[in-house]
Chains A and B, each alone.
Chain A
């Protein structure tokens, strides 16, 4: 089966700088993806290349099997049937809410157009506001207008360029869930650009982590967290620290906190230096444990404490403990490692 969206080894450059390098991924139809990465990683450029605003220097972009971009040729954005929501929304200030939504419906019959606009405004809960101008409605409502406008021409794929960043956290999550539901119901693929992993987890089935123009891993949220492909992904997704260790016999790793059973790392000899990813939920507080560490910071989170612990070697660990375990700074507490998914990389 041909994949819905297929990026094969694409490069995007603003000469002389290459902004996106050798990025490949595939997305299935009616799935929702996310490009996640710190600012300046090239995720927005990649999205603009898919929309057709930036030409690509190598590789190809295909949608439903049809080529959209190749080096030296770019199908104009207006012929791609790809919708886009912009970070600044880019609502047309001279048009009413209804006219904004109708903008992409040129060539439709008047009554069909009216019906489509009405349906979409109802869908996003703004049927009362059809005659208002963008500056007369709130930020959250503007977001909904931008969504309705992008969906109106029935795009095959909706691209979202950090469209929630101007909203407060509560509104952001509601809207993300709502948009996800709408996309799935209408059978439209979605691709979000974000720097916020929780937004990505909440919104997307598949997430690509980008750094410095490279796609490091394209996977679902669970795997990104528990099976990160490299050090950057492990560090960027979730919390955790790297504990130095050494390969022992077989698949054993020797660390300050004892030996851990893991999966043998390809090409590693016993004695090679490695680092083990330890997430806060991998460290269990146990007063009976012979291992002890000093509390150097603590953050109360309601149901639990997040302790920062110092090991005798000076290495630090994060530990999540139920909040009835109330320990003071400087106290030494017993801990135990309980790692279900051992993640380790070669050190150096």
Chain B
């Protein structure tokens, strides 16, 4: 029971103000999208818009099905069966998360194109020449689906695994006593019971697929994100770009609603009390090896092969690429990511504590609104950051020209400020989630107990809160750090002139067909990405089902 004060005070105003600021990009996109359609938009609608919608939908659908086909069997096998390598697969299946989709796309292009090792080996062993054989083109829509599915399936795997582990043992034992064999138990009991979790996982995956820019751009597939870039840079029409972004947002929000809804259902779906799992079902004969194979393939194609290829390229090109510029870029990129992570952590702490100290519905709603940023594609965030900042710059510049007779140029829109603003919008929810989870562990009675034992409010902060929050804060910083390091589209749009990050450099080199040269940069991103995977796998090791871990 906490006192309820009526009215606004500094905390509430601060929380609501920061939340509104963070929601500004999304609001801008929506407001701009409502403007009457211009000539460019009409041109788009007549020509390529249908392609964007069709390709984006196909991508969503394909990646959804692909991640289900990979993630669900892997989760089913590792969560309640025993077979060779199960313990290892349990966490290693998460490794593909470390590779950003655009990097796996570059790697497979290098592996599978005409001059790549696979086709070369085929030609050499069969003495074929170019016209003698057909080889699937990886740079295509199906190729993009495959790439995205290979690195996104861990979301489905994590949520499905949690759902399977949480299912009441009693229900499975009842179905066993009613004569249901393992297959029937899977498709008639376990799978339907896990359905809400699977829908939630697939919705998350589809949001990521919609947000992808690097893969579809490289593969020449026209989707919303590549369309936004084309309209923004090619046609120089910011209104039409925002309108396209607004349409993309509608797709994303539909998925978001769907995901929230199925998560709520998921809560109703396990009502039975938790019991200890009986021993895992040990697979026998060829089933053991099939199970091993089903888990090995996604790991092999999603991580081992691309990471191995990157390592080989990096090893070959490193002497040339790892020059002074590389180290400069590395330290630059790392310090940008760290700075952004610390800034975002500070904001998350502010919002988390604001809500804890003043649990008011208004503040809650505002923070929930700011929390939607994670679902918003980086491209959309970038447009939403660019428009208002550019307007401010134009206003200030016009005023200065008129009254001071000088041009102030780009004060905000072409600077690191804009980039940091976009990162805050997009990645604050990640940090907020950790901070809120940490704060929830500090029950109000612990504050009271410390006060009753003579600690002042400041002492409570230093002696109770900070030690108890330390782990959550480190997690928040690590997750945001890696997310910023991997971020591509928003950084491409918003970066100041001559400003580079590892991700952007990888993209630039890959665009110049210097795939092997990009490997050192890509490998650095992937290595950083393994950090969060270790965190997640430690959570799995403690056998805490992974709901918290994902969103």
Contact = CB atoms under 8 A, between A and B. Distances in A.
Contacts of A77: 448, 451-452
B406 interface: no
A80 B454 CA distance: 8
A90 B456 contact: no
A279 to B, nearest CB: 35
B4 A78 contact: no
A234 to B, nearest CB: 29
Contacts of A54: 3
B3 A78 contact: no
B445 A86 contact: yes
A106 B456 CA distance: 11
Contacts of B277: none
A104 B445 contact: no
A53 interface: yes
B463 A103 contact: yes
Contacts of A290: none
Nearest to B447: A90
B1 A76 contact: no
Contacts of B3: 14, 54-55
Contact of B6 (A15, A45, A94): A15
A92 interface: yes
B453 A90 contact: no
Question: Which of A54, A86, A150 has the most CB atoms of chain B within a 10 A radius of its CB?
Answer: A86
Interface in A79-97: 79-84, 86-90, 92-94
Given A45-B1, A92-B464, A82 B452 contact: yes
A82 B446 CA distance: 16
A90 B446 contact: yes
Given A14-B3, A93-B468, A103-B463, A51 B445 contact: no
A104 B443 contact: no
Contacts of B463: 103
B445 A103 contact: no
A251 to B, nearest CB: 46
Contacts of A92: 446, 449-450, 464, 468
A153 B453 contact: yes
Given A44-B1, A94-B467, A103-B463, A84 B454 contact: no
B455 A106 contact: yes
Contacts of A45: 1
Main secondary structure of the interface of A (DSSP, over half): loop
B441 interface: yes
B-side interface size class: 20 to 34
A165 B3 CA distance: 24
A240 to B, nearest CB: 33
Contact of B448 (A14, A53, A81, A153): A53
Nearest to B456: A78
Given A92-B446, A94-B467, A83 B1 contact: no
Interface string B397-413: 00000000000000000
Interface residues on A, range: 20 to 34
Interface in B295-329: none
Given A78-B456, A106-B455, A153-B454, A86 B449 contact: yes
Nearest to B444: A90
B450 A86 contact: no
A78 B468 contact: no
A133 to B, nearest CB: 13
A76 B451 CA distance: 8
Contacts of A81: 454
A90 B6 contact: no
Nearest to B449: A90
Interface in A139-179: 149-150, 152-153
Nearest to B445: A90
A76 B453 CA distance: 11
A104 B460 CA distance: 11
Contacts of B456: 76, 78
Contacts of A86: 445, 448-449
Contacts of A150: 452-453
A48 B451 CA distance: 12
A69 to B, nearest CB: 14
Nearest to A17: B4
Instruction: With a 10 A CB-CB cut-off, give which of B451, B459, B463 has the most chain A CB atoms.
Output: B451
A94 B464 CA distance: 8
A90 B454 contact: no
B468 A94 contact: yes
A15 B7 CA distance: 12
B445 A88 contact: yes
Interface string A84-125: 101111101110000000011010000000000000000000
A92 B468 CA distance: 9
Contact of A53 (B441, B451, B453): B451
Nearest to B460: A78
A84 B446 contact: no
Nearest to B450: A103
A149 B453 CA distance: 8
B107 to A, nearest CB: 43
Given A15-B6, A78-B455, A88 B443 contact: yes
A93 B465 CA distance: 11
Given A82-B452, A92-B464, A150-B452, 6 more contacts: A53-B448, A78-B455, A83-B452, A90-B448, A92-B468, A93-B468
23 contacts: A14-B1, A14-B3, A14-B4, A15-B4, A51-B448, A53-B451, A54-B3, A78-B452, A78-B454, A83-B452, A84-B452, A88-B443, A88-B445, A90-B445, A92-B450, A92-B468, A93-B468, A94-B467, A103-B455, A103-B463, A106-B459, A150-B452, A152-B453
Interchain residue pairs A-B with the least CB separation, the first 5: A104-B453, A90-B445, A90-B449, A77-B451, A84-B452
